[in-house]
Structure 1
Amino acid sequence: MEKQRIEFIDLAKGLCISLVVLFHIHSFETTTETALRFFRMPLYYFLSGIFFREYTGLLSFSVKKINKLIIPYLFFFLVAYLAGIVCHFLHFYEKGIIEEPFHWNMIFDIFTKLSRGDNIGYNSPIWFLISLFEVNILFYILRIGIKNDRILLLSAFLIGILSILAGLNKLPYFIDRSLIAFPFFAVGYYCRNLILTTKEIGKGKLYLFAACCFAFIYFCATLSEPTRDTFFIHYLAGLSGIGMILSVSKALNKLPLISYIGRYSLVVLGFHTFLVGPMRFIFSFASPVGQYILSFIAIAILMRFLIIPISIKFFPYFTAQKDLIKLPNKE
């Protein structure tokens, strides 16, 4: 029996993956774009923290996360390599449709580039799946030793703050990103009951709170770069952005297309980069803003009516819909 969906959470994920897709279509160097960077990915860590479960032990937990994160990562990695071959023979790079030339040795990126902390070619956004796996495992281990939620939250922030102060960068397999994002996951876990069981709040109050959050992160985005990059601003602005998206999602509850792609945001994350180049090429007749909007609409529609339905029907074990590796004991 399928679990009942929490609609505003699907909408929050849909809004977030929409921002990711829009960023990859075109990044405008504006204050608004800077503001969006504060919370675009942290929201995913936060939402994952909300739904953290220990299962029956570290083994079952690890297997579950391998099914949900590592197997999809390997699947999207191989699909990216095959897409690269197709683009190579269709001369997409020479035609300006894609931005990176194909190399046959890209198949080894998982051992070479990732070990240097670099993204893989053709499908860089899937780095997040590895990072989220690391965050889950680290949180589980920390949870074993720390039973008090407040101390656990404090420890998570200590890890994140020290990682920023240490200037961690380009660690193998995105460990630096995982450590810095760790507090967002912990806050999601700490606030899970508040987020999921809170009483109804008037839409006016939710929109007002969202507007205040946006005003704050917009102000943070206007700060000079050294000030903006401090751990205080990083976490406070990130959490404000998360609060903004959750408030808007709670007020709206559901937007059919956005909520749908939010429900299957992992599929969108893994496949959208294959469409970005072709869509920009197709809509190259439009202005930059028109190209931006038309490309997003086309990608969202293709995801809703073609790519997601095909993925969940024919590749459920590789898109986190079903478990490829069975748990020793069924949960």
Structure 2
Amino acid sequence: MEPVTPTSVAKPRYAFVDLAKGICIMLVVWHHVVSTWGLETYPLKEAVSSFRMPLYFFLSGLFFKEYAGFFDFCKRKINKLLIPFAFFFVTLSCIFPFVLHYLHLRGNPDASVWYSFVWKQSFPNIPIWFLLSLFWTNLMFYGLYLVAKKVVARKFPQYATSSLVVLSVVLGLIGFFLGRYNIKLPLFWASSMTAIPYFCAGHVAFRYTKILAPNPMDKFNIPFALLGFGLVVALAWNAPPDSVSYVSNRYWFPIWSVYLCGILGTLAVLFLSKAIKKIPLVSYFGRYSIMVLVTHGWVQWGIIKILQENHVHWSRPVALAFVFVVTMLLYLAIIPFMKCFLPHVTAQKDVL
């Protein structure tokens, strides 16, 4: 497992990766629109939930780099993940709810909200949980990577990658069964552990496949995508509501179904995106998906609040579609605003 040489050259952008991220962030927004409206289930909810978050963990593993060492790696992840989480937790999970309470627009969030991310792991701007969880997943995987590289590879170099896979699977299983038996760890650690196999799968895909580059197998991308989606839908067809929840680390699927659906769905989105390459608006949302992630909860809440205050009585499908479309279209203004005024807390520029 040879180290990646640090470089100052800008990383290349892969258009289809932005498209994949755009598809998934729009699925995230749709899910939260439906949830905010109070609808417990909708067609294909369990199938989509099984791969919506694994895709992001897989992509993070796909672009994993060792950098100059552990501390340099930590600094980069603090800039890209921890600082955005901290800023939007304080502003949109703590301060903003108190402002709304003062204006009599929302109930009192209670002082415990300030430390709710530690054990309660439930707070007003809950979508940002992913940033904290991904931060820990990165650090955990880096630790496993160092064990495989500096311990296993020295004596058994041929087993370096396989040992990394085994360690990742073991840690993932521990996280999964912590959730199955309702054992909570602070700071979303259990969810981060459960996600390690997806992160490792992305890293292995980068090392041993040509998933990022054009290759002869690309002519099968559409059939592979359709097959993957079909298998995920079949596996999740009779699943009870909320069978998979990475934020609460709760899974009512068999363990093999959870990971199989996660990987198949992730690959299906990537194959489909690679075949299409780019859809301008969707790809744009994907490129700046962190900005959508950290704010969309309150954006859609505001739209729903306006509809309710004006006594708009549309059929549920029309209302949901309206809230979703307006939410996404507002990002044509929100994203440029955040790029201009909040680059250091949206992973566009470094603080450290």
TM-score > 0.5 by shorter chain: yes
Find the counterpart in structure 2 of residue 135 from structure 1: 137
Q: 1:20 to 1:72 in 2, by over 3 A?
A: same
Work out whether residues 206 and 251 of structure 1, in 8 Å CA contact, stay in contact via their aligned partners in 2. yes
Alignment check: 8 A CA contact 2:174 2:193 kept: no
Confirm or deny: 8 A CA contact 1:168 1:176 kept in the other structure: no
* Structure 1 equivalent of residue 256 of structure 2: 232
| 1:162–1:74 CA distance, 2 compared to 1 (3 A) | closer
Match for residue 85 of structure 1? Answer: 98
1:217 corresponds to which of 216, 221, 232: 232
Contact 1:163 1:176 (C-alpha < 8 Å) held by counterparts: yes
SS in 2 for 1:191: helix
The SS at the match of 1:311 is helix
How far 1:179 moved relative to its partner?
Answer: 0.7
1:319 aligns with 2:319: no
Q: Which sits farther off after the overlay, 36-45 or 187-196?
A: 187-196
CA drift of 1:23 comes to 0.5
Aligned to 1:12: 20
- Identify if the C-alpha distance between structure 1 residues 243 and 197 changes in structure 2 by more than 3 Å, giving closer, same or farther: same
Aligned-CA RMSD value: 2.1
Q: 1:174 corresponds to which residue?
A: 188
Q: Deviations over 1:178-201 (max 9, x none)?
A: 111110000001101422124154
Q: CA offset at residue 102 of structure 1?
A: 3.1
Query: Which residue in 2 is equivalent to 1:257?
Result: 281
Distance of 1:211 and 1:248 partners within structure 2: 8
Task: Give the % identical residues.
Answer: 36
Distance in 1 of aligned mates of 2:105 and 2:186: 31
Q: What amino acid is the match of 2:205?
A: C
- Hey, what's the Cα distance between the residues in 2 that align with 1:61 and 1:321? 17
2:266 is paired with a residue of what secondary structure?
A: helix
CA apart distance, 1:293: 1.5
CA gap 1:198/1:156 in 2 versus in 1, 3 angstroms: farther
Instruction: Give aligned pairs, total.
Output: 312
Structure 1, gaps ≥5 residues long: 94-100, 326-331
| Structure-2 residue corresponding to 1:96 | none
One-letter amino acid of the counterpart of residue 318, structure 1 = V
Question: How far is 1:243 from its partner?
Answer: 1.1
Matched, 1:105 2:111: yes
Distance 1:7 1:103 in 2: 41
Please give the alpha-carbon distance, in whole angstroms, between the structure 2 residues aligned to 1:140 and 1:108: 29
CA distance in 1, matches of 2:183, 2:331: 33
CA-CA distance at 1:108 after TM superposition: 2.0
- Aligned-partner Cα distance in 1 for 2:261–2:52: 11
Q: Which residue of 2 aligns with 1:98?
A: none
Deviation at residue 285 of structure 1 after TM alignment? 3.3
The correspondence for 1:196, drawn from 178, 192, 212, is: 212
Paired residues of 1:54 and 1:61 also in contact (CA < 8 A): yes
Which letter maps to 1:84?
Answer: P
TM-score (norm 1): 0.88
Q: Secondary structure at the match of 1:26?
A: helix
Residues 1:287 and 1:31: Cα distance change in structure 2 (over 3 Å) = closer
After TM superposition, the structure 1 stretch with the greater mean CA deviation from structure 2, 275-284 or 215-224, is 275-284
Q: Please give the secondary structure, in 1, of the residue aligned with 2:273.
A: helix
- CA separation of 1:247/1:278 partners in 2, compared to 1, >3 Å: closer, same or farther? same
Q: How much does 1:261 deviate?
A: 1.0
Answering whether residue 211 of structure 2 is matched by residue 184 of structure 1, we say no
Mapped partners of 1:107, 1:119: distance in 2: 9
AA aligned opposite 1:196: L
